Structures are given as structure tokens and as C-alpha cells.
């Protein structure tokens, strides 16, 4: 008997099909729910986020550089401003071949061949999508040249920017400083986002120190672009709502400088190398800050070429060197008022006692001679006469009696051997020698010994003692204030460019030198005597005075003269001649200005520096500056 076999189970297949349909339906339902949830997320919950992303495909954000703050003198005269300028900029990711592009720009005269390497480094130091300035301040001919060849340079374009401009050229350049193109070194220390679209940054002086105040806050604007990245007004029927964030201009700086006094000081110094610093003793305001020769800061603002910069570096007169802030020189006899005051404070000198000056001084127990200066012999002099007539013999003896330790300790609070703290960078501290300094400065034991003859030279501002013109002006202001000092400053107020609100900066007091009023008056009388009668500056700075000046001449040796040799200026090379110094404050009874003048290789302080100081004081006190 044959068994019956069921070939097909329709009911079983039906149940299997139904189960599969349920699973598939459930899977489709889950996917649909997930898809719907994702659509809600994209279209509703994160609509703004993805709208911004989509905008990025057709909208480019362009930074709007903030206008740099203005710089004005104490009377409101603008000494640094902004002017519209055209500059050539390059976006690296849009340039097919950077090296070829730079070479072709050289061929049409828009770049110098010497600047190609520096330009390449500058471009590569930025992000590939940054617009990098490669040529600042194009003139009309250069703009026309590029316009003709523009189609040859994808990724290169002309932009309109605000460029820094100094209307008075090199006037007060070492105080103001300058702005220049942002370098690789600058990029390593700044916030790149804050400087997006900015091409210039402060390099020296006030421009550098107050960079944060002057820079402002950059803004931005959205620009509609096509597939090639070019700006368009609309895409099809779409007219987007483009946003703009306005930049916030930098703060304006109000300087303590008086432009009129500054001009007089620079014109008086003329073509000679040197420095002039004038301070207000009552608050530390810098009224004039001169270092000659100078340079035109507009060269850096327009983009200085390598050849131009090298010419400045190679100039034998060093126009880039700030002599007022960084030049260190022997003080010469300008230090004698402080030495006299030290003698009074320590009680080693009686101001009424006379000493006979025969033109030569010998240390007790020594045969070495220390000669009087060019004035020869003075005869019998007391302390006031010795200051007025600048008697070296008197101060040789006084310094020997004081000793180097007391001299160094007394001079330190005047600011010698340290920076004054002026509000621009790069200041040199000079050198205040002492026994301890010499032990550290020299390697050989025999050179570490401090000799009595070095103290004698110290007493007339020679030897190791070195000062800057700024330090001497600061010291003079302390003498004027009878011991009260203020930190020198070039900026005394900051102004909001929007509201016009002016924020005054409070003067900062420094160390105080303690001495009796009588001691201060004795020293002041000696300095007043320098401009009267037989005083060293009576025939130059002291003529036809309408106010009382207290001053002191100084003549600083550039090289040492042997024991049996005589210094004859006409026989000495010009750059080896003595430096000329003069310090003064006026009016002596109520000082409103303290001045220090240096003329490099200018000879006698009375003939080289003193007339310049007189012109500066007249400009402030007589011609309406004060």
C-alpha cells in the first residue's frame, strides 16, 4: 500500500507570509518614525544651525576691520590718523601657483624681486583662506596696471582699507612709533580672530604699547557669492537677508606731548645727532621727546621695501635708534648737583667752606693727577660756586670723601641704573656702578677691585657711570620738585570715539629723595648761578632771561686723554669729540618744565646743548605752551 504524501501546506505558507508581512511592516514603521524624527530634527529643532551651514555654501563672511584710534597731542592736534588706501591682497587657496603669481606680479612692477621670499613666507604663515596684504598703498598708476592684468591673477584682488598716516612725517616719530604689516612673529602672539582683515599692527612707541586700546573690535558682513566665489547681488529669484556686524573703532589717545614745543626742539637740534626730553615736573607728562636723526613712519605704513629698510639700517647716523630712550652716555658734570646734595645729606661738606682749585687734583698718597676741565683753574670756590662754575677739582675731592658706596646708594632713588617706567617699550636702564656691580661684571679677580680713582671720576660723571637722556630729564624733574618724582608718561588720557568721553590717567608717584629744604635750596642756587655771572651757561642759555632758570652744563668724554696729553677739539675726529649735555628746570621758584639735552660729539655743554634747552623752555613758558 502506498503512503500519501502532502506536497504543499497552504495554511502554513499563509501563516509564514503573514508573519513576514508583520515584521516588514513593523520595520518600515520604525524606519518611518526614525525618518520623521530626523526630519523634525533637521527642519524644526536644528533649523537655524543647518540654515547657517547652507548659508555658508553661498554666503561668505568678510571681516570689517575697525578704524584704528587717533593719536592727538595735548592740544588736540591729530598726529596719527587713518586715510583710505588701496592695497593688493592674495587668498592662497584661490591661487593656482603661488610662486608663479608672485613672479608675474614682479614682472608688471607691483612687487620687488627682493621682497618675493618675505612675501611668500608671509602668505604661508596665514591660513589658506585668509586674505593677505602683499602690497600696501597702491598709487593710481599701480591700480591701473593691475586692472589691465587682473584676469591673469585669480585669487589676487585690490581692496579698500584704512591706512595709518602721520601728517607731520618724522616729527616725534620715536615717541609715536609706527605701524607695519603683521609679520610671522606678530601672528604668534596675537589673537588671529581679533585681527581678521587687519593688515597693520603697532611696532614701536605709543603705537605698540597701546595697541590693545588703538586696535578696536573688528566687525563682519555677509556677502552672497556664486560657485566661483565671486560676489553677486542675488542668486536667481533669491535675495538673501545678509547680516552686518559693525566694527567698533579703537580708542583715541591724548598725548602729553605739545606739538609746538616738539617742533622747536627738533628744529633747534637740526641735523645734529642727539636727543631732547622735556617733562612737566608736576605730573611726569612728557612735553617733548626728540631723537635725531629720525625717519618717516609713513614708509612703514605704505609697506617699506627691503632696499629702503636696509638703507635705514646701514645709515651711519642710525635714524632707527632711539637715543632718548636707549642711548647710554656718561653724564658728565650734569651729575654734580646730585653729588653736592649727597655731600650735604651725609654731612661730609660744609657749603660755606672754600677750596682752592689750582686746576689739578691728587688723591692722598698718590701721584696720579686728575685735571680740571677745559675751564682751567677756578681759584677759591664754595659749594654754590663749584656747581655754577662746574669745578671738577671740588667734586673730585667731594666724591673721594663720600666714597662709591654712598654715591651709588644716594643716586639710585633718582632712577639711575634702572628704567624710569615710561609708557613705551625698549627703555635702557643705563649703568650705576658700585663695588658689588664691579665684582659681578668682571671675570678676573684683579679687575673686580674698585679703585679710589674710579670714585673720583664717578664724582664728575665719567668712568663706568652711564645714563640715558630720559633718565637725566627725570632726574632734573626730581631736582625741580625737591625730591618728589613722577613716572614719565606720553599718554595722559584715553577718549571714547563714540561718546567723546575722556578718561584721564592719574600720574604715578615714584621714590622720594629726603633732604632738608635748606640743602635743596643750596643746590638750586648753584644751578641758578650756572646761568648768571661767571656761570658756565651764562653767555649762552642765560642771556636776556625773562624767568629764572636753574641749569647745569655737562661735557662727557668719548675717549680717555692721557696724563700728559691735552684735548684739542679741532684735532679730534668729529665722532670722537666730547658729548654736549645741558639740564635745566624753570621757573626755578615754581618749576613747570624740566629739560635734558644731549648733542652727540657737540663739544662744550654750554655751547652745544644749552642754547637748545633755552629755546625749548621759551617755547613752553614764553610762547604760550604752558
Q: What is the distance between the terminal CA atoms of the chain, rounded to a whole angstrom?
A: 140
pLDDT in tens, 280-330: 999 999 999 999 999 999 998 887 888 888 999 999 999 999 999 999 999
Pairing between strand 286-292 and 369-371?
unpaired
Average confidence (pLDDT) over 530-548: 92
CA-atom Rg of the chain in angstroms:
36
User: Lowest mean pLDDT: which of 122-126, 225-229, 257-261, 353-357?
Assistant: 225-229
Residue 80 has pLDDT above 80, yes or no: yes
Burial of 459 (0-12, 13-18, 19+ CB in 10 A): buried
Average confidence (pLDDT) over 259-278: 96
- Predicted confidence at residue 244, as pLDDT, reads 84
Residue 229 has pLDDT above 80, yes or no: no
What's this model's pTM, rounded to 2 decimal places?
Answer: 0.84
pLDDT in tens, 555-598: 988 755 555 555 555 656 777 888 899 999 999 999 999 999 99
Cβ proximity of 401 and 353 under 8 Å: no
Q: What is the 3-state secondary structure of 478-547? A: HHHCCCEEECCECEEEEECCCCCCEEECCCCEEEECCCCHHHHHHHHHHHHHCCCCCCCCCCCCCCCCCC
Q: Dihedral (C-alpha) 180, 182, 184, 186: value to the nearest 10 degrees? A: 90
Residue 274 has pLDDT above 90, yes or no: yes
The CA–CA distances, whole Å, from 605 to 73, 522, 552, 600, 608 equal: 30, 22, 9, 10, 5
pLDDT in tens, 444-491: 999 999 999 999 999 999 999 999 999 999 999 999 999 999 999 999
Residue predicted with more confidence, 338 or 85: 338
Residue 88 has pLDDT above 70, yes or no: yes
Average confidence (pLDDT) over 528-550: 92
- Predicted confidence at residue 54, as pLDDT, reads 59
- Predicted confidence at residue 175, as pLDDT, reads 97
pLDDT in tens, 12-40: 778 888 888 888 888 898 988 988 888 88
CA-closest candidate to residue 513, choices 360, 340, 378, 358: 340
Residue 93 has pLDDT above 70, yes or no: yes
CB neighbourhood size of 193 (10 A): 8
Q: What CA–CA distance (Å, rounded) separates 268 from 286?
A: 18
Instruction: Take residue 6 and report the three cell numbers written for it.
Output: 502532502
Delimit the domains of the chain by residue range: 259-621
Task: Return the SS3 of 261.
Answer: helix
Residue with cell 584721564: 504
Average confidence (pLDDT) over 413-437: 96
- Predicted confidence at residue 55, as pLDDT, reads 55
Instruction: Single out the catalytic residue among 256, 291, 331, 333.
Output: 333
Q: What CA–CA distance (Å, rounded) separates 615 from 602?
A: 17
Q: What CA–CA distance (Å, rounded) separates 610 from 478?
A: 19
Average confidence (pLDDT) over 218-245: 68
The arrangement of secondary structure in 259-621, i.e. its CATH architecture, is: 3-Layer(aba) Sandwich (3.40)
Residue 380 gets the label, from left (phi > 0), alpha (psi -120 to 50) or beta, of beta
Residue 336 has pLDDT above 80, yes or no: yes
User: Is 333 designated active site?
Assistant: yes
Q: Dihedral (C-alpha) 214, 215, 220, 226: value to the nearest 10 degrees? A: 130
Average confidence (pLDDT) over 268-289: 97
Residue 256 has pLDDT above 90, yes or no: yes
Burial of 393 (0-12, 13-18, 19+ CB in 10 A): buried
**What's the whole-number average pLDDT of the chain?**
88
pLDDT in tens, 362-376: 888 887 888 887 667
pLDDT in tens, 173-203: 999 999 987 777 887 788 877 887 777 889 9
Amino acid at each position: 500500500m502506498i503512503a500519501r504524501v502532502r506536497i504543499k501546506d497552504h495554511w502554513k505558507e499563509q501563516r509564514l507570509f503573514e508573519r513576514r508581512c508583520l515584521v516588514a511592516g513593523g520595520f518600515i514603521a520604525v524606519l518611518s518614525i526614525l525618518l520623521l524624527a530626523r526630519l523634525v530634527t533637521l527642519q524644526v529643532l536644528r533649523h537655524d544651525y543647518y540654515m547657517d551651514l547652507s548659508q555658508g555654501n553661498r554666503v561668505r563672511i568678510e571681516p570689517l576691520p575697525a578704524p584704528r584710534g587717533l593719536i592727538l597731542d595735548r592740544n588736540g592736534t591729530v598726529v596719527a590718523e587713518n586715510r583710505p588706501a588701496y592695497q593688493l591682497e592674495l587668498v592662497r587657496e584661490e591661487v593656482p601657483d603661488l610662486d608663479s603669481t608672485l613672479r608675474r606680479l614682479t614682472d608688471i612692477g607691483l612687487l620687488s624681486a627682493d621682497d618675493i621670499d618675505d612675501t611668500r613666507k608671509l602668505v604661508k604663515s596665514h591660513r589658506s583662506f585668509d586674505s593677505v596684504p602683499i602690497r600696501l598703498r597702491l598709487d593710481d598708476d599701480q591700480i591701473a596696471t593691475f586692472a589691465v592684468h587682473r584676469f591673469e591673477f585669480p585669487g589676487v584682488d585690490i581692496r579698500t582699507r584704512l591706512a595709518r598716516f602721520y601728517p607731520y612725517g618724522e616729527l616725534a616719530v620715536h615717541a609715536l612709533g609706527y605701524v607695519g604689516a603683521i609679520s610671522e612673529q606678530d601672528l604668534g602672539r596675537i589673537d588671529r580672530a581679533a585681527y581678521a582683515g587687519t593688515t597693520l599692527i603697532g611696532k614701536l612707541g605709543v603705537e605698540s604699547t597701546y595697541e590693545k586700546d588703538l586696535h578696536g573690535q573688528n566687525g563682519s558682513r555677509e556677502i552672497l557669492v556664486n560657485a566661483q566665489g565671486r560676489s553677486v547681488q542675488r542668486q536667481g529669484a533669491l535675495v538673501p537677508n545678509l547680516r552686518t556686524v559693525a566694527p567698533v573703532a579703537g580708542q583715541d589717545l591724548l598725548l602729553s606731548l605739545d606739538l609746538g614745543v616738539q617742533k622747536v626742539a627738533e628744529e633747534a637740534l637740526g641735523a645734529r645727532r642727539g636727543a631732547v626730553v622735556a617733562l612737566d615736573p608736576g605730573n611726569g607728562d612728557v612735553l617733548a621727546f626728540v631723537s635725531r636723526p629720525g625717519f618717516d613712519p609713513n614708509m612703514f605704513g605704505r609697506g617699506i621695501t627691503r632696499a629702503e629698510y636696509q638703507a635705514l639700517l646701514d645709515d651711519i647716523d642710525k635714524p632707527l635708534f632711539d637715543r632718548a630712550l636707549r642711548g647710554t652716555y656718561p653724564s658728565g658734570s650734569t651729575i654734580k648737583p646730585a653729588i653736592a646734595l649727597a655731600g650735604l645729606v651725609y654731612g661730609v661738606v660744609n657749603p660755606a667752606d672754600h677750596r682752592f682749585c689750582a686746576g689739578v687734583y691728587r688723591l692722598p698718597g698718590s701721584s696720579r693727577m686728575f685735571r680740571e676741565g677745559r675751564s682751567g683753574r677756578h681759584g677759591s670756590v664754595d659749594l654754590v660756586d663749584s656747581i655754577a662754575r662746574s669745578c671738577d677739582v671740588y667734586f673730585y675731592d667731594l666724591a673721594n670723601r663720600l666714597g662709591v658706596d654712598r654715591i651709588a646708594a644716594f643716586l639710585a632713588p633718582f632712577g639711575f641704573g634702572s628704567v624710569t617706567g615710561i609708557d613705551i617699550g625698549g627703555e635702557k636702564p643705563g649703568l650705576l656702578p658700585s663695588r658689588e656691580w664691579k665684582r659681578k661684571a668682571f671675570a678676573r679677580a684683579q679687575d673686580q677691585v674698585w679703585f679710589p680713582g674710579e670714585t673720583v671720576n664717578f664724582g664728575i660723571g665719567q668712568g663706568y657711570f652711564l645714563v640715558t637722556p630720559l633718565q637725566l630729564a627725570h632726574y632734573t624733574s626730581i631736582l625741580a620738585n625737591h625730591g618728589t618724582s613722577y613716572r614719565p608718561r606720553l599718554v595722559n588720557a584715553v577718549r571714547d570715539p563714540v561718546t567723546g568721553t575722556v578718561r584721564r590717567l592719574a600720574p604715578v608717584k615714584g621714590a622720594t629723595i629726603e633732604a632738608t629744604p635748606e640743602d635743596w635750596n643750596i643746590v638750586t642756587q648753584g644751578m641758578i648761578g650756572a646761568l648768571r655771572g661767571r656761570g658756565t651757561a651764562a653767555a649762552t642759555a642765560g642771556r636776556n632771561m625773562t624767568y629764572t632758570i636753574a641749569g647745569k652744563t655737562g661735557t662727557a668724554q668719548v675717549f680717555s686723554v692721557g696724563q700728559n696729553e691735552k684735548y684739542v677739539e679741532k684735532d679730534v675726529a668729529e665722532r670722537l669729540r666730547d658729548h654736549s649735555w645741558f639740564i635745566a628746570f624753570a621757573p626755578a621758584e615754581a618749576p613747570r618744565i624740566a629739560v635734558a639735552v644731549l648733542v652727540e660729539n657737540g663739544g662744550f655743554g654750554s655751547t652745544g646743548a644749552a642754547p637748545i634747552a633755552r629755546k625749548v623752555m621759551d617755547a613752553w613758558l614764553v610762547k604760550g605752551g604752558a
